[in-house]
Amino acid sequence: MSTQSQASKSTQTHASNVYSIYTQNVQKYFENISKITPQYFQSITQLQEECMKTCEKTMNAAVSVQQEFAKKSGISTEIPDDARTAIIDTNKQIVQASTLGNQLTKTTIDATIQNIRTFGENINVFVELNRNIIQSWVNPFTLRN
């Protein structure tokens, strides 16, 4: 019998109950996810970079066309100092708010990761607790010789 046939037969024998089948399927699922996740993140990162580049290029092109129109039509583009200061100050505040928002988001993500990691580290404790509870429920009904 070939090794593949033996492995298939072993798997069929091993997968004869619902828990074995479940375990095998969950393992296959997470193996697949582990393979595709890096590709997904790379694609999302590339999409984000392209969006940012295109947005910046679009804004620069729009300003360039408006500037050319103003110059050719003789429209003055000078602004009062107070307006210039207000625009610059507003932009600084927008950048600061964006930076703060990003820091808050990063902190929230880091805390969530830590919470998930802590839960993962404590799964065995939860399993042992549940085993003890099950044992306490089953003991009164167990047949004794």
Encode pLDDT of 120-138 as tens digits. Answer: 999 999 999 999 999 888 8
**52 and 85 share one domain:** no
**69 and 86 share one domain:** no
| Cβ neighbours of residue 76 closer than 8 Å, sequence gap 6 or more | 70
Q: How many helices (H) and strands (E) does the chain have?
A: 4, 0
Domain boundary among 36, 55, 78: 78
Percent over 90 (pLDDT), the chain: 81
Domain boundary among 78, 109, 125: 78
Q: How many domains does the chain have?
A: 2
Domain of residue 131, residue span: 79-145
**97 and 129 share one domain:** yes
The Cα–Cα gap between 103 and 97 comes to: 10
Q: What is the residue whose two structure tokens read 């047949």?
A: 143
**88 and 73 share one domain:** no
Tokens for 18, please give them: 């619902």
Distance of CA 6 to the CA centre of its chain: 40
Say what the pTM is. Answer: 0.61
**90 and 140 share one domain:** yes
Tokens for 37, please give them: 């996740």
**100 and 63 share one domain:** no
**26 and 71 share one domain:** yes
**8 and 74 share one domain:** yes
Encode pLDDT of 102-112 as tens digits. Answer: 999 999 999 99
Residue at 25: amino acid letter: N
